[in-house]
């Protein structure tokens, strides 16, 4: 009988651990889905797009400064 209780306790502990991990993964998956949905509604750009626009802005700023110097000379 004692071995049977031990086996049942082991099974109960195993099932508890499985359920805990399963629930944690479900919660994590659901939270991730909710966050991605929320972020997709925002007007965000990727890091690559941001870097590209920063480079374009930098080149444009340099051109503008050169043109301003030229206008001042004229």
For residue 2, the model assigns a pLDDT of: 57
Token couple for 8:
């049942």
Say how far apart CA 24 and CA 20 lie, in whole Å. 6
For residue 38, the model assigns a pLDDT of: 83
Residues 57 and 73 in one domain: yes
Work out the number of other CB atoms within 10 angstroms of the CB of residue 16: 10
Say how far apart CA 11 and CA 69 lie, in whole Å. 81
Residues 36 and 53 in one domain: no
Residues 28 and 58 in one domain: no
Per the structure, the complete domain to which residue 67 belongs is given by 44-74
pLDDT tens, per residue, the chain with 74 residues: 556 677 778 878 887 877 777 777 777 788 888 888 887 888 888 899 999 999 999 999 999 999 999 999 99
Is pTM beyond 0.85? Reply is no
For residue 4, the model assigns a pLDDT of: 60
């Amino acid at each position: 009988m004692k071995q049977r209780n031990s086996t049942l306790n082991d099974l109960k502990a195993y099932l508890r651990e499985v359920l805990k991990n399963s629930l944690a993964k479900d919660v994590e998956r659901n939270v991730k889905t909710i966050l991605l949905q929320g972020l997709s509604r925002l007007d965000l750009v990727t890091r690559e797009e941001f870097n590209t626009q920063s480079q374009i802005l930098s080149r444009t700023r340099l051109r503008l400064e050169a043109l301003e110097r030229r206008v001042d000379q004229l």
